[in-house]
């Protein structure tokens, strides 16, 4: 019996080649889209789940909401929080670890390499039970001079992995060259995690002597704090306990002048399994250790993929029911000879499952073809793992499910035909109902397609708009030298600057702690020293982001001063100086951006000039600094991060980058000339250069990739919808041949007939706007609201998308209509 079904199915596929091709290819595109998205989602959702006990490891995220001001949120925390919470909640905490991440230069055979370095408390491997290749977690971080490295690093520097006992030299840890001993080698960790440790050093307070607010602080948030709880169910009570501690037993309580601590200041707990996709909500504008995922992206990709699949399924249903009329006679005859309704239904459903499985095989081929491009776009290494039977059978299951859904309705329609009705001469087998349902489904397909086109156009415009917004500074003709100050005391920055300035192409050289596009986690409290003097109240200080910049930084980047003046060599007091003794206070001058003046409560930039501010920016203690100038809000990082209220001062020991402003087009020669100078001034430090405009572009690369993907899926949706329309149009033209013939006999011209058919298919497309417009409007309103600066939601996008859909539909239909309309009328009527 089953053989019989398959044989009939094959015969039918062959007889209706056009429909079969549209069905199979359309479904394959739909299934391939879904498979690609599933691969992406599996990877995104699976982040960090491979870590042992991932369900009971959490990280705390700080959030500070001043009573009247912008909230300050970060996934980092203050150095003393880990110990304090562990002591307060021993019933929940099994262990805790702090993590600090930075760059350092690894020196090997007279060469030096910049590497990302992790510092962790020696409890790190108790919390993160990573598998070791050599060594074990007990001894790995036992000694301050230990270093744990990954398999990858071992291979890179030693060419082998059994390197326990070997040494690595860094320059510099705490401004000194330091040699550490390899105590263990980790297996390389999978990429789907929120951090990959390659070099792990032990947090040793002396190593952070240069950064006083790194460890011994309640307020500066520079470390990542993880807790391993005793049980996964402890997360909620642990969170409650932290709030309780903040409000009742923490030192924050004394600092609050009124209200509860948690009204303004919180530590929120998040499971590490959620970090990749959900930490973005807690990260303020500072991001995470690696680029974070976004649950919204998952939602939007999934919905698009699902739409493509649904559109393909609709084609499937439409073409099958449309075709069913041509098979109605066959069905009627089968019934007459005794086939039962369920037998017929089984036959049609098997047929559609057969089509789906064929599509599935084709879809796998599409996926394999698309994967290299897809991975490139996403920066991932996704692949179809044919060994994973569970996953594979899930995909097969999906196809069969689609076949059932797609086949059930046609099967129902077909098996329900009443033979008497059909066999009666001159009776139309067409059932009005199934015709109408087909029209609704086409409306839905086009609504989805139009909605996608509108969204794509708006997302594109917004992305474009964001890319062309005035950042507030000039990005062209600027080269960055990294690794400034990396040589400890050995690098003579003044000499470097002078030598660079003597190059003919170079017009300015300036130093700074960060350059545009760099993330920075320098945030600390700044207090206004107004008439009321200083008091310790928490909510009177503003947490601001700060940068160290050299005298001519503003000039080099063409940042104009709104009020006051920029730093200048003429004023020795413009340089920040630490206090010389315990009970003294340091001095200096600061510039603010406009947001910072607002955050500090100044009515206008003028009001801020000349005011004093106190902040703890030195290890030695506080410094009181004069506000000398205000600059506009510049977009130091991607505009998606918005503007951070920022403070600028000149602290020469924090300079890490040089910006070279140049006037040549021959950048290759410039790179060489600068390298020569560098090698003379700082031979032991790696030469690492970048260009500001490239850094800025790179910030948008991942967004552009995501956007491109969005476009690809939208186009697929439209193609599949058009495939369906094409099939349906050709079917309808065929079905209406007789009617068209009659109309022609009565005098209808070719253009009358084309108009007739085009109108038939324009109606659903026009109707679909009624659904598409509001849907796109609400989706895009939401989307645009996430941007501080955004384009208007203009009607033009809606109208253009609809016209586009109409034109595509017309092109699809006209070809067929013209063919049918031009035929001699007798051809249509002959065999009546």
Contact residues: other proteins, CB under 8 A = 426-428, 430, 738-739, 741-750, 752, 822, 824-826, 829, 832
Residue 753 Cβ vs other proteins, minimum distance, rounded to whole Å: 10
> Which residue lies nearer to other proteins by CB, 386 or 831?
831
Asked if residues 74 and 292 have their Cβ atoms less than 8 Å apart, the reply is no
Please count the CA atoms within 13 angstroms of the CA of 483 that sit on its side-chain side: 27
How far apart (Å, rounded) are the C-alpha atoms in residues 335 and 341? Answer: 8
Residue 614: phi, psi to the nearest 5?
A: -115, 135
Nearer to other proteins, 429 or 461 (CB): 429
Q: Smallest gap, in angstroms, from Cβ of residue 744 to other proteins?
A: 7
Q: CB 427 → other proteins: shortest distance, Å?
A: 6
- DSSP β-ladder status, 478-481 and 689-691: antiparallel
CA angle (339, 345, 348) in 5-degree steps? 110
Rg (alpha carbons) of the chain, rounded to whole number: 34
Residue 106 CA to residue 686 CA, distance in Å, equals 10
Q: CB of residue 23 vs other proteins: minimum separation in angstroms?
A: 27
Q: Which is nearer to other proteins, 750 or 775 (CB)?
A: 750
Helices (H) and strands (E) in the chain, counts: 25, 23
Residue reference for tokens 């630490």: 578
When the beta carbons of 46 and 825 are compared against other proteins, the nearer one is 825
Give the list of residues 6+ apart from residue 152 with CB closer than 8 angstroms, or none: 188, 198
Nearer to other proteins, 9 or 332 (CB): 332
User: What count of other Cβ atoms lies within 10 Å of the Cβ of residue 437?
Assistant: 16
DSSP 391: H
Which of residues 679 and 751 has its CB atom nearest to other proteins in the complex? 751
Residue count (the chain): 832
Rounded Cα gap, residues 743 and 739, in angstroms: 6
Chain centroid to Cα 455, Å, comes to 18
Of 1 and 746, nearer to other proteins (C-beta) is: 746
For the chain, the helix, strand and coil percentages under 3-state DSSP, each to the nearest 5: 50, 20, 30
Q: Residue 442 CB, nearest distance to other proteins (Å)?
A: 18
Q: What is the DSSP letter of 141?
A: T
**How many Å is the maximal CA-CA distance in the chain?**
110
Which pair of tokens denotes residue 744? Answer: 């022609």
Residue with Cβ nearer other proteins (260 or 329): 329
| Positive or negative torsion for Cα 217, 221, 222, 228 | positive
- Least distance from other proteins to the Cβ atom of residue 825, Å: 5
In the numeric block, which tokens belong to residue 549? 């910049």
DSSP 612-669: EEEEEEETTEEEEEEEEEEE-----S-GGG----EEEEB-GGG--EEEEEE--S-HHH
Least distance to other proteins from the beta carbon of 738, Å?
Answer: 7
Q: Least distance in Å: CB of 443 to other proteins?
A: 19
Q: Which is nearer to other proteins, 240 or 745 (CB)?
A: 745
- Please report how close the Cβ of residue 820 comes to other proteins at its closest, in angstroms: 13
Q: Which is nearer to other proteins, 50 or 759 (CB)?
A: 759
Beta carbon of residue 430, minimum distance to other proteins (angstroms, whole number)? 8
Which of 719, 750 has the CB closer to other proteins? 750
Q: How far is the CB of 736 from other proteins (least distance, A)?
A: 9
């Amino acid at each position: 019996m089953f053989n019989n079904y398959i044989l009939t199915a094959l015969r039918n596929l062959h007889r209706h080649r056009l429909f079969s091709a549209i069905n199979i290819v359309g479904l394959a595109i739909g299934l391939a889209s879904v498979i690609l998205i599933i691969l992406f989602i599996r990877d995104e959702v699976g982040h960090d789940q491979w870590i042992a006990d991932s369900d009971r490891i959490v990280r705390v995220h700080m959030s500070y909401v001043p009573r009247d001001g912008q909230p300050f949120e970060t996934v980092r925390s203050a150095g003393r929080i880990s110990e304090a919470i562990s002591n307060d909640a021993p019933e929940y905490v099994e262990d805790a670890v702090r993590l600090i991440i930075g760059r350092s230069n690894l020196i090997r055979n007279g060469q030096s390499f910049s590497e990302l370095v992790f510092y962790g408390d020696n409890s790190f491997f108790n919390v993160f039970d990573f598998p070791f290749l050599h060594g074990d977690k007990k001894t790995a971080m036992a000694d301050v001079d230990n270093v744990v490295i990954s398999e990858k690093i071992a291979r890179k520097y030693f060419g082998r992995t059994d390197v326990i006992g070997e040494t690595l030299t860094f320059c510099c840890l705490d401004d000194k060259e330091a040699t550490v001993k390899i105590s263990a080698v980790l297996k390389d960790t999978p990429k789907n995690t929120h951090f990959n440790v390659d070099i792990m050093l032990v947090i040793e307070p002396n190593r952070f002597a240069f950064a006083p607010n790194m460890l011994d602080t309640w307020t500066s948030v520079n470390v990542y704090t993880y807790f391993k709880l005793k049980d996964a169910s402890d997360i909620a009570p642990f969170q409650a306990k932290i709030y309780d501690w903040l409000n009742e037993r923490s030192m924050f309580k004394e600092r609050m002048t009124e209200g509860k601590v948690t009204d303004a200041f919180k530590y929120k707990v998040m499971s590490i399994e959620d970090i990749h996709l959900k930490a973005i909500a807690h990260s303020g504008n500072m991001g995470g250790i690696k680029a974070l995922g976004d649950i919204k992206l998952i939602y939007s990709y999934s919905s698009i993929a699902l739409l493509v699949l649904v559109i393909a399924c609709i084609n499937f249903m439409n073409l099958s029911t449309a075709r069913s009329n041509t098979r109605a006679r066959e069905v009627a005859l089968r019934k007459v000879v005794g086939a039962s309704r369920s037998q017929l239904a089984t036959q049609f459903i098997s047929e559609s499952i057969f089509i789906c499985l064929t599509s599935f095989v084709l879809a796998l081929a599409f996926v394999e073809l698309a994967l290299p491009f897809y991975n490139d776009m996403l920066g991932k290494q996704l692949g179809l793992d044919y060994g994973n039977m569970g996953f594979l059978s899930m995909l097969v299951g999906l196809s069969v499910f689609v076949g059932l859904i797609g086949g059930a309705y046609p099967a129902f329609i077909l098996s329900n035909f009443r033979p008497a009705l059909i066999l009666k001469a001159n009776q139309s087998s067409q059932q009005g109902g199934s015709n109408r349902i087909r029209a609704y489904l086409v409306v839905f397909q086009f609504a989805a397609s139009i909605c996608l086109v509108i969204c794509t156009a708006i997302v594109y415009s917004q992305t474009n708009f964001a890319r062309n917004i005035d950042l507030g500074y000039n990005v062209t003709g600027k080269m960055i030298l990294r690794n400034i100050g990396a040589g400890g005391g050995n690098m003579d920055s003044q000499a470097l600057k002078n030598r660079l300035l003597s190059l003919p192409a170079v017009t300015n050289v300036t130093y700074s702690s960060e350059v545009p596009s760099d993330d920075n986690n320098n945030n600390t409290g700044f207090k206004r020293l107004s008439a009321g003097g200083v008091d310790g109240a928490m909510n009177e200080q503003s947490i601001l982001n700060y940068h160290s910049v050299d005298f001519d930084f503003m000039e080099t980047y063409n940042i104009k001063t709104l009020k006051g003046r920029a730093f200048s060599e003429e004023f020795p007091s413009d340089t920040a100086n630490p206090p010389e003794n315990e009970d003294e206070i340091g001095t200096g001058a600061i510039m603010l951006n406009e947001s910072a003046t607002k955050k500090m409560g100044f009515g206008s930039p003028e009001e801020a000039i000349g005011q004093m501010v106190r902040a703890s920016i030195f290890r030695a203690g506080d410094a009181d600094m004069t506000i000398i100038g205000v600059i506009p809000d510049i977009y130091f990082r991607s505009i998606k991060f918005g503007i951070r209220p920022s403070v600028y001062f000149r602290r020469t020991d924090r300079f890490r980058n040089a910006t070279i402003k140049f006037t040549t087009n021959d950048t290759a020669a410039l790179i060489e000339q600068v390298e020569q100078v560098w090698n003379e001034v700082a031979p032991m430090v790696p030469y690492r250069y970048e260009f500001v405009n490239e850094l800025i572009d790179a910030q948008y690369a991942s967004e552009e990739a995501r956007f491109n993907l969005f476009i690809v899926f939208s186009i697929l949706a439209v193609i599949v919808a058009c495939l369906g329309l094409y099939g349906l149009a050709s079917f309808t033209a065929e079905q209406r041949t007789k009617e068209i013939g009659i109309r022609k006999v009565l005098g209808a011209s070719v253009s009358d007939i084309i108009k007739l058919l085009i109108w038939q298919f324009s109606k659903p497309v026009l109707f679909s706007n009624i659904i598409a417009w509001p849907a796109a409007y609400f989706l895009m309103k939401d989307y645009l609201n996430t941007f501080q600066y955004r384009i208007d939601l203009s009607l033009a996008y809606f109208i253009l998308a609809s016209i586009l859909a109409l034109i595509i539909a017309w092109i699809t239909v006209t070809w067929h209509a013209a063919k049918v309309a031009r035929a001699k009328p007798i051809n249509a009527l002959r065999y009546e």
